[in-house]
Structure 1
Amino acid sequence: MTGFSARLTDKEVEAMSGVTPGHPSYDDHDMPPAPAKWKGRCDLNATVCNNKLIGAMSFIDYNNVTRRSTHEPIDYDGHGTHTSTTAAGAFVKGANANGNAKGVASGMAPRAHIAAYKVCYGDECQGHDILAGMDAAVDDGVDVLSLSLGGDSEPQGGFNAINRGVFVSCSAGNSGPDHSTLSNDAPWLLTVGASTMDRSLLATVKLGDGQEFDGETLYQPHDFGSKMLPLMYPNANEQSSLCVSGSLDRFDSPAMASFSSRGPSQITPGILKPDITGPGVNILAAWTSAFEVFSGTSMSCPHLSGVAALIKKAHPDWSPAAIKSAIMTTAYATDNSRGPILDERRLPADLFAVGAGHVDPPKAMDPGLVYDLTPQDYIPYLCGLYANNHVRAIVGGPVNCSSVKSISEAELNYPSISVKLPAIHSTPVSYTRTVTNVGAPRSTYRAMVDVPEGVSARVDPTTLSFEKVDEKKSFSITFRRRGGRRQGAVEGQLRWVSTKHVVRSPISIILE
């Protein structure tokens, strides 16, 4: 787990399997000291931590009395090193993996301070260790928590974090492409899927009849011979059986990774998850020795953590929900050919794969409007979902759900919209949303809503005019089914458009 802080600099928490001491990606050249609010410590050799790597602790076999672990926060498998430097690694010249992807490497927020909290030992991550690490990171003063792991502790630890103003970014999981496979789906967490980018480690296979097929591999020795070899037919039990027709064809970037876990959420289907996608295929970052290229939502999550740190630096007064909204409503839903983002079948990826779209960091810095939420706004939603004692455990304080008017998850002031429309009657379904102006003081936005045939949607009012920054305006959006027997999931979008901004919310519609 990694954490950073973003005032004069940025700080993140992500090296869940520890860090690699002395790696050049943790070099502190031209880095200022840790922020004054930093309260953490470094349990590595005193010469290892510096103005870049400001903290390192382990929570494996952690003793709550002595506040010490029997393990050092050293990374033995490379995961924590890779993810933390993807988020906030320093500039390193000549980075490469076996001579591939060579160039200058850095994290998304290269001026961020990094604090590492080791909560995993090999593949084993205990829930109590994760929770202890998250709570320690928040107490230490981080601004962003980055968790490239899945489990049951993130909702509780994540709520404590956002309650203290700390942004939390989490991996969606690597159980795709089946639906309802994602984890970390609490609405206060940013749930990140994985997509491709414009890096191709090209390798070509030539068949005996002269046909050539492009693929990818990191193993490209210069002295590789041209001897013809027999073809191997994949068995059903081999991973190579996943190489379906067209899987070696080139995709425009981005495209969804097949392994990226999909929604809808099994716990809160009224909230569209994942929230966003980021680069998660062929990611070059630091490893226990030099650099390596890896793929996974573990790699896409820290990209978003770094973006969040940069937004936090630019807008230190924004809440975690406002930062999430800025990331989601400015994402793009098309690839670089202006076509739809595709999935592993070369078909348009649905919202349960891509969420709001692929992150667009420059636009996220200036979203125009944000959908904001306070930690207290989640309590009516939680009371509608769980028993009172369960809600208390999540929020970490006294709650009396009997005195709270519960709401469905779809009624949260979320940047995306999910709605169910039954077939048996045409009763309209309405939701209210509130947007906050974070753009120009004087600005006007007009609603543009697109829904598929058989569904109507009406926005009221259709125009929102603002006179000052931080001014709030509310609107309602009403959906109605218009005949037909079609069932299943369909999609739409709501855009608030001004002369400078497009604030886009994806709409997931389930026709029952």
Structure 2
Amino acid sequence: MDNPIHTRFTLPCLGLRAAAAVLLLLLLLSPAAITPVASHNDHGEHKNYLVIVRSRYEYDKNVHKNVSSWHASLLSSVCDTAKEVLEADPTAISRLIYSYRTVVNGFAARMTPEELDKMSKMEWFDRALPEQTFHLLTTRTPHMLGLMGGRRHGGLWNTSNMGEGVIIGILDDGIYAGHPSFDGAGMQPPPAKWKGRCDFNKTVCNNKLIGARSYFESAKWKWKGLRDPVLPIAEGQHGTHTSSTAAGAFVPNASVFGNGLGTAAGMAPRAHIAFYQVCYEDKGCDRDDILAAVDDAIGDGVDILSLSLGHEDAIDFSDDPVSLAGYTAILNGVFICAAAGNTGPSPSTLVNEAPWLLTVGASTTDRRFLASVKLGDNVQIDGESLNDPNTTMGDLVPLVRDVSDGLCVNGNVLKAQNVSGKIIICEAGGDVSTAKAKMLKGIGVVGMIVVTPELFGPVIIPRPHAIPTVQVSNAAGQKIKAYIHKARGPTATFVFKGAAFNTPRSPMVAPFSSRGPNRRSRGILKPDIIGPGVNIIAGVPSIEDVDLLRNAEVPRFDIKSGTSMAAPHLSGIAALIKHAHPTWSPAVIKSALMTTAEPNDNLRKPIQDVNGRPANLVAIGAGHVNPKKAMDPGLVYNMTAMGYVPYLCGLNYTDDKVSTIIYPEPPVSCAKLSRLEQDDLNYPSITVILNQPPFTAKANRSVTNVGAASSTYTVEVNVPASVTVEVNPPKLTFKALEEVLNYSVTIKSANGQALTGPVEGELKWLSGKYVVRSPILVTNESGPSPAETRKP
């Protein structure tokens, strides 16, 4: 049941007495009996706003039954209460969208500019933020990440019981509840702390999918025609895929048209899933709905939150719903994992930058879906395809290209008489390749070659297509086009080979994975870590844009790529750690994942970027996740939620903005606190900014012993000669578990002059089997002031 303090219904914006009367009536009704009503007679253009109340203001419990009553009274104080309006339509005016309990001190409401102006003069008013839209950003990865295998082989599932009893909350665009990945057979009931609900009928939710709720009270005003999706929740492609990646049950014989055949499973197959729909296909995710979902998820009792969504702008921490909700989550002991974004490889494109979040970039896996283009001169060009490996193209057929723009998007230009019965080569762009394939099928094309953009390097992201298709790298595409140019009557055919695990080097940073540096806090390295996010097989309601034969079985697995796929990998792994170490704080789990991450690939060489050069720290953070090592990290960097307050003060946030972020903790005064520089935040990575003479900085850290009770760690530092690093003390001796020791790192420009560019290195604490590694980033760029924010 809902916590009575948090209500999802809307309250009429009436006079104070009328509002109180209506509120009392609604509180006596069950939530299911309340139907939001549309506004008819209010004047002016209405827009959604998130209204932040000054943190020093709290509601009087002698006057108001709960926080929703108080918020309704605040809103009613600025509404049009003209008698003639109310007499004409007694149901006018539904304005209060959400009343928040914990994620922020405030409410979401619909107001006119005149009402907002009036409200801005109220003493309790802090600021109002206009509506914002956020966007959504397997059979192999459990084996690749070392989760499977018997005890002798160190399979992590054996030591973590597959995350049993841990609740992962997923915020996404919908879930196909009937998918076999969400079968509850053999699952234990959720723990007694679970207080959530399922808006599907009782035969759909089970001990695996224990909760399902949707949030659209704010979104419905923005997107005309959006129907109430509460019953049922939408069958989302994205949400089904991310949920099954994090905690899907074992499903045998899973594949994508015969590719990647095996037993599918999520990272934590025995963890419970609580799903919160906040996004809608082709529309996005409304900020105020995101806040309401996290508000409920924390009250419901989730242990982990997984958010594969974000906003491309560098939003101030005090305005960003993921930052606000994330802080409240860790304040309540909930680990929160968020995608880094899909607008790489350009720098400064990363989203979800707050240090209390685990921000996850995407990497490739060691699996490819091989296919070849066999040319008429008997040369074979390698690529990838999701056509059934048993498919045969047969003899050579004519090979042509789109001579207009190469994009293959205009069927009128291509014309059936020119391309029917032929294979056509197309550049990526203009439209998604699956849509191109459907159009080309309609004019008789028998096969398609898609040339990947140059910036993707060797990384190919195959999709199922309506006609036989091979996707090739840009370099391979140039070879095929050169053959077409020189050959008389060029021909080709396809050879489909299926899945192979002979990727020359893996993992590699995904070309689309967003990169740092951190725009809001340059002294904190982001992303934190990378995980599998390319060509991930997981559950879907069905495969889109593919025509199936009549009576054919609907495919329930598909391949998708993105940091949206990487984040639930880390969420599921965090659930395994949470099961094994139930008392560990979110900061400790995060530290364990980061300090044990791998900076090297399968050849024990630095992880590559798609340009063939070693990936830099703003692409990989601490490195690629290593779940087995993360379970036993030796030392950890712990922090309480309130430990971020001096850091926020050090970023020059105002008292009101700091108090907005840390709500419902009491408001603070930065003047009465010791401000903490960014490099002194007890973070698992180390970033210092040398932009002022004498070009030296000192970072302080505290480590907690969670390894061997009696142990000694010695330091090892690897940095280029352009900087010097001194660690004091160079040796840490622990006598007990949970003992905390401090050390400092002094970093200087070696010649006393300004650096010409970023410098990267690493610090490692070594003790027997333990290697506790922190990446070091030294930069001369401080970036824009983190406290610069948009005004309402």
TM range (shorter): over 0.9
Given the alignment, which residue of 623, 628, 635 partners 1:357? 623
Aligned length: 504
Partner of 1:454: 722
| Aligned pair partner of 2:453 in 242, 248, 268 | 242
Distance 1:394 1:146, change over 3 A: same
2:681 counterpart (412, 416, 421) = 412
Q: Which amino acid aligns with 2:188?
A: P
2:21 equivalent in structure 1? none
Alpha-carbon contact 2:178-2:204 (below 8 Å) kept: yes
Per-residue CA deviation, residues 64-83 of structure 1 (Å, 9 max, x unaligned), is xxxxx653363333110000
Residues 405 and 57 of structure 1, relative CA distance in 2, 3 Å threshold: same
Equivalences for 1:16-95 in 2 at 5 Å?
16-61=172-217, 71-72=230-231, 74-95=233-254
Q: Deviations over 1:336-368 (max 9, x none)?
A: 011111111111100000000000000000000
Q: What is the match of residue 66 of structure 1?
A: none
Q: Equivalent of 2:642, from 367, 376, 390? A: 376
| 1:329 has 2:540 as partner | no
Alignment-derived partner of residue 222 in structure 1: 391
What TM-score do the two structures reach when normalised by structure 2? 0.61
RMSD of equivalent CA atoms: 2.2
Whether 2:346 is the aligned partner of 1:182: answer: no
1:437 and 1:469 in contact (8 A); partners too: yes
Counterpart Cα distance in 1 of 2:742 and 2:406: 57
> Relative to structure 2, which stretch is displaced further, 322-331 or 123-132?
123-132
1:51-450 matches, cutoff 5 A: 51-61=207-217, 71-72=230-231, 74-122=233-281, 123-151=283-311, 152-220=320-388, 222-228=391-397, 229-231=399-401, 235=406, 238-239=428-429, 240=451, 242-243=453-454, 247=458, 248=473, 251-289=504-542, 290-385=556-651, 386-397=653-664, 398-422=667-691, 425-450=693-718
- Which amino acid in the other structure matches residue 263 of structure 1? G
In 2: Cα distance, 1:308 partner to 1:226 partner: 51
**Shift, 1:206, TM fit:** 2.1
- How far apart are the structure 1 equivalents of 2:236 and 2:189? 29
Corresponding residue SS for 2:597: coil
Unaligned runs of 5+ in 2: 1-135, 137-161, 220-227, 312-319, 408-426, 430-450, 459-472, 476-502, 543-555, 782-792
SS of corresponding position for 2:777: strand
Q: Secondary structure at the match of 1:488?
A: coil
Which stretches in structure 1 are left out of the alignment for 5+ residues? Answer: 64-68
AA aligned to 2:178 is G
Q: Which amino acid aligns with 1:302?
A: P
- Greater shift, 499-508 or 249-258, is seen at 249-258
- Asked if the contact 2:373–2:380 (Cα under 8 Å) also holds between the matched residues in 1, the reply is yes
Distance 1:244 1:429, change over 3 A: closer
Q: CA deviation at 1:390?
A: 1.4
Cα distance in structure 1, aligned partners of 2:428 and 2:582: 50
Partners of 2:686 and 2:208 in 1: how far apart?
Answer: 39
* Structure 1 residue aligned with 2:110: none
Partner-residue secondary structure (3-state), 2:172: coil
Structure 1: distance between partners of 2:504 and 2:330: 37
For 2:206, give the aligned amino acid: N
Give the direction of change, closer, same or farther, for the CA distance of 1:197–1:245 in structure 2 (3 Å limit). closer
Superposed CA deviations along residues 298-335 of structure 1, whole A, max 9, x for unmatched, are: 00000000010010000011000000000000000110
Q: Is the 2:278–2:290 Cα contact (8 Å) retained in structure 1?
A: yes
Amino acid at match of 1:507: I
Letter in 1 for 2:766: V
1:75–1:81 CA contact under 8 A, matched in 2: no
Higher helix share: 2
Q: Percent identity?
A: 52
* TM-score, normalised with respect to structure 1: 0.94
Instruction: Report if aligned partners of 2:728, 2:743 keep a CA contact under 8 Å in 1.
Output: yes
Larger-Rg structure: 2
Cα distance in structure 2, aligned partners of 1:24 and 1:498: 45
Report deviation, 1:205.
1.3
CA contact (8 A) 1:15 1:84 kept: no
Q: Secondary structure at the match of 1:203?
A: strand
* Aligned partner letter, 1:12: I
Q: What secondary structure sits across from 1:322 in the alignment?
A: helix
Mean alpha-carbon deviation: is it higher for 247-256 or for 467-476?
A: 247-256
